[in-house]
A and B are shown apart, each in its own frame.
Chain A
Amino acid sequence: MAIPSPLLINEDAMRRNRAVRRLGQVGLWLNPLFAYFFLWAPILVLVLFSFNESRSVASFTGFTLKWYTNILNNVMGAERAFSTEIMLNAFRNSLFVGTIATIIATVLGTLIALAMARGRFPGKSLIDSLLFLPVVIPEITQAISLAIFFKVAFDWIATISGERLFPGFHTIIIAHVTFNISFVAIVVRARLADMNPQLEEAAGDLGANPWRAFWRVTFPLILPGVISGALLAFTLSLDDFVITFFTSGVGTSTLPVFVYGLLKLTVTPEVNAISTIMMVLSTLLIGISLAMQGRNASRG
Chain B
Amino acid sequence: MASRLRTMRENGSLLALPTISWLVIFFVLPLIIVLVFSFMSRGRGGVAIMPFTLDHYGRTFDVFFIILQRSIGLAALTTIICLIAGYPLAFFISTRRRRIVQQVALFLVILPFWTNFLIRTYAWRILLGEEGTINGLLLSLGLISEPLPLLNTQLAVLIGLVYGFLPFMALPIYASVERFNFRYVDAAQDLGANDIRAFMRIVLPLTLPGVLAGCALVFIPSVGAFVTPDLLGGAKGLMIGNLINKQFGGSGNMPLGSALSIVMMAVVMISLLVYIFANRRDAGAS
Contact = CB atoms under 8 A, between A and B. Distances in A.
Touching chains A and B, CB distance < 8 Å: yes
Given A29-B92, A138-B221, 4 more contacts: A27-B88, A35-B88, A119-B10, A138-B220
Interface in A166-206: 174-175, 177-178, 181, 185, 200-201, 204-205
Contact of B26 (A35, A57, A58, A149): A149
A181 B135 contact: no
Given A32-B89, A144-B244, A263 B231 contact: yes
Describe A's contact surface by its main secondary structure. Answer: helix
Interface residues of A, number: 93
A239 B116 CA distance: 6
Nearest to B198: A17
Interface stretch (B1-9, B53-61, B62-70): B1-9
Interface string B75-114: 0000000000110110111000000000001001101101
Nearest to B15: A115
A41 B22 CA distance: 42
Interface stretch (A64-72, A76-84, A129-137, A222-230): A129-137
Which of B1, B10, B116 has most chain A Cβ within 10 Å? B116
16 contacts: A20-B195, A31-B88, A32-B88, A34-B85, A35-B166, A40-B112, A45-B123, A45-B126, A118-B12, A141-B265, A175-B26, A178-B23, A201-B5, A242-B226, A263-B125, A279-B119
Contacts of B140: 59
B34 A141 contact: yes
Contacts of B20: 112, 127, 130
Interface stretch (A2-10, A85-93, A157-165): A2-10
Interface in B246-261: 248, 254, 257-258, 261
Contact of B30 (A146, A242, A282): A146
Contacts of A260: 118, 227
B129 interface: yes
Contact of B127 (A27, A45, A138, A142): A45
A38 B167 CA distance: 12
B39 to A, nearest CB: 14
Given A58-B131, A144-B257, A28 B92 contact: yes
B16 A127 contact: yes
B155 interface: no
B141 interface: no
A92 B223 CA distance: 32
Nearest to B241: A140
B13 interface: yes
Contacts of A49: 126, 133
A215 interface: no
Contacts of A39: 108-109, 112, 163, 166
Nearest to B105: A32
Nearest to A119: B12
A210 B7 contact: yes
A278 interface: yes
Given A6-B190, A111-B18, A275-B122, A181 B115 contact: no
A291 interface: no
